[in-house]
């Protein structure tokens, strides 16, 4: 009826928010001790995402950032911090406020099982 919610096709901002959700979520659930293959796959994912991203200027920007700042994929903490720093580079270009990249703030924002006094993993992934 008239009052039903009509979903709108995403614009650049909404696509951006959802893409950041995917990227940060991938980083905070990344293995603590990734195998070489897991590191390679994530590195490939990031580079391919930058190439195929439907906002062309955004993708080009990400490609440039990946070259300037090679992905840090040796551990979950490394990758979570790296993704935060990259997002802040984009925030800066868009005159948006910087996010606090302490691991506490990152995990608090992006992990469902985060508590202040307990950093160990309750949900190893988002399958449940």
Enumerate binding residues for ligand FAD (CB under 6 A): 12-13, 16-17, 19-20, 24, 57-58, 61-62, 84, 87-88, 90-91, 94, 96, 99, 106, 109
Between the two ends of the chain, the Cα-to-Cα distance in Å is: 35
* Distance between CA atoms of residues 106 and 15, nearest Å: 21
How does 106-120 read in b/e, with b if 16+ C-beta sit within 10 Å? bbeebbeebeeeeee
User: What's the closest the beta carbon of residue 57 comes to ligand FAD, in angstroms?
Assistant: 5
User: What's the closest the beta carbon of residue 39 comes to ligand FAD, in angstroms?
Assistant: 20
User: What's the closest the beta carbon of residue 107 comes to ligand FAD, in angstroms?
Assistant: 10
**Is the Cβ of residue 61 or residue 78 nearer to ligand FAD in the bound state?**
61
Place of tokens 């703030």: 105
**Is the Cβ of residue 75 or residue 81 nearer to ligand FAD in the bound state?**
81
- 3-state SS class at 115: strand
* φ, ψ for residue 95, nearest 5 deg: 55, 35
User: What's the closest the beta carbon of residue 35 comes to ligand FAD, in angstroms?
Assistant: 25
* Distance between CA atoms of residues 30 and 78, nearest Å: 10
**Is the Cβ of residue 1 or residue 95 nearer to ligand FAD in the bound state?**
95
**Is the Cβ of residue 14 or residue 40 nearer to ligand FAD in the bound state?**
14
């Amino acid at each position: 009826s008239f009052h039903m919610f009509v979903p709108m096709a995403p614009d650049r901002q909404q696509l951006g928010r959802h893409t950041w959700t995917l990227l940060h979520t991938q980083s905070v659930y990344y293995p603590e001790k990734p195998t070489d293959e897991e590191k390679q796959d994530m590195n490939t994912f990031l580079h391919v995402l930058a190439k195929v991203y439907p906002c062309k200027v955004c993708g080009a920007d990400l490609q440039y950032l990946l070259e300037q700042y090679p992905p840090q994929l040796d551990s979950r903490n490394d990758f979570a911090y790296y993704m935060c720093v990259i997002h802040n580079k984009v925030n800066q270009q868009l005159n948006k406020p910087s996010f606090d990249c302490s691991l506490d703030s990152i995990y608090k924002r992006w992990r469902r099982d985060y508590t202040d006094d307990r950093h160990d993993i309750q949900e190893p992934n988002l399958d449940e």
